[in-house]
Amino acid sequence: MSSENRKDEKVNPTQSTKWGEERNDNYGYASNQERLDKRGLEDWELVQTMEDSEVSIPYWFIAVFVVLLIVAVGLTFPFWGNRPGYERPWFDWGIPAGVAWVVIMSFVIYYFVDLRHVLRKRKEEKQKLKNSESLK
């Protein structure tokens, strides 16, 4: 098609939905099942269908973390990696600094992992208060 023919064609405005209105076009697919087969779930659909974990931090993660800490502290002892003529002390400030780092980061990780549960509970409590106030 040449550019001259394009100028003569009239373009009709599309029927767009307003913000917040639900679309029934299945995102361009003939049916919702076809959309699911070809494209899968959207991000918001995945989040809605995900189950909440009962355990905020898995026990296996904590076990691996503890084993790594034991190995790391063990490798700081002077009988591993000694060079002839160099004596390492049994204690240096790296171990307390490492312990402080582990404690602080453990709290940070726990806060981030558990935060979604806390926010969900607050949201549910606000909704309950709103519903109880509307019933009065």
Region 25-36: what's the mean pLDDT? 79
Domain ranges within the chain, ordered by starting residue: 55-135
Pairwise CA distance, residues 118 & 82, whole Å: 49
Q: What is the pLDDT of residue 54?
A: 61
- Please report, rounded to a whole number, the percentage of residues in the chain having pLDDT higher than 90: 1
pLDDT score of 50 more than 80: no
| Residue with more model confidence, 135 or 101 | 101
Structure tokens at 115: 């935060």
Per-residue confidence at 104, pLDDT binned at 50, 70, 90?
very high
| Residue with more model confidence, 34 or 89 | 34
Q: What is the pLDDT of residue 22?
A: 60
CA pseudo-torsion sign 72, 73, 76, 80: negative
pLDDT score of 13 more than 80: no
Provide the b/e sequence for 11-23 (b: ≥16 CB within 10 Å): eeeeeeeeeeeee
Pairwise CA distance, residues 3 & 87, whole Å: 84
Region 97-108: what's the mean pLDDT? 87
